[in-house]
Amino acid sequence: MRVSKTQAQENRKRVVETASVLFRERGFEGIGVIELMAAAGLTHGGFYNQFRSKSALMAEATACGFSHMRTSADVVDFINFYLSRRHRDALGKGCAIAALSGDAARQQGDVKSSFEAGIGQLVENLTAMLPADTHAEGRAKAMSLVAQAVGAIVLSRACREEAPLTDEILETCRIALLEQYSPETHVSR
């Protein structure tokens, strides 16, 4: 039975959104096409009618993940959210950079392009939030902030959930980043 063009577009969107969450939870290789399509409520037979390959879906799902990334009004809000237990524990809904960078490093073309665009957009958003004398100085600060925040989340997630170290990493890095990027803000310890 053929589906309408509108239904096909809705199905594609559902697959991309489902894949975005599942890839962040399990990694690109942690879920196959059959299981992914079932999670989206569809049969796997229609996958190749919508996507030329799993890699094409990975690139699109990555872009979708970046588009849903929580943006903040200012750098303090960004740091406090990003380095929170809430974000750490929301693997499927959290930052695609922290969840999938290791996997993306082993991918080709479109997937890397999606990461490059997403990382670039986050850097630009943060550049606009950070005080700096020049755009280049603000961009350098933003890149450093992203690298430090992502690193902290990755390290925290690598620890057992109940281990004291997981929270210690988040808290130590959150305080350091607040002191570094928002010196006028009182940081509570």
Last residue of a domain, one of 47, 64, 81: 64
If one counts the domains in the chain, the total is 2
Structural domain contains residue 186: no
Of 26, 49, 64, the one marking the end of a domain is 64
Instruction: Compute, in degrees rounded to 10, the torsion defined by CA atoms 109, 91, 177, 115.
Output: 10
In this predicted model, what pLDDT tens digit does every residue of 99-150 receive, in sequence order? 999 999 999 889 999 999 999 999 999 999 998 999 999 999 999 999 999 9
Tell me, yes or no, whether 117 lies in a domain.
yes
Residue 177 lies in a domain: yes
Place of tokens 């929301």: 90
pLDDT tens sequence across 163-178 = 999 999 999 999 999 9
- Which among 44, 64, 84 is the end of a domain? 64
One domain, residues 157 and 119: yes
147 lies in which domain range?
A: 70-181
Shared domain check, 75 and 59: no
One domain, residues 45 and 110: no
Kindly state whether residue 189 falls inside one of the protein's structural domains. no
What tens digit of pLDDT does each residue of 43-86 get? 888 888 889 999 999 999 999 999 988 777 789 999 999 999 99
Q: What is the pTM of this model?
A: 0.88
Taking alpha carbons only, the member of 123, 73, 76, 114 closest to residue 96 is 114
Same domain, 76 and 45: no
H/E element holding 80? helix 75-82
In a domain, 43, yes or no: yes
Whether 188 is covered by a domain: the verdict is: no
CATH of the domain at 150: 1.10.357.10
CA distance 134 to 127: 10
Domain identity same for 60 and 74: no
118 with 56, same domain: the answer is no
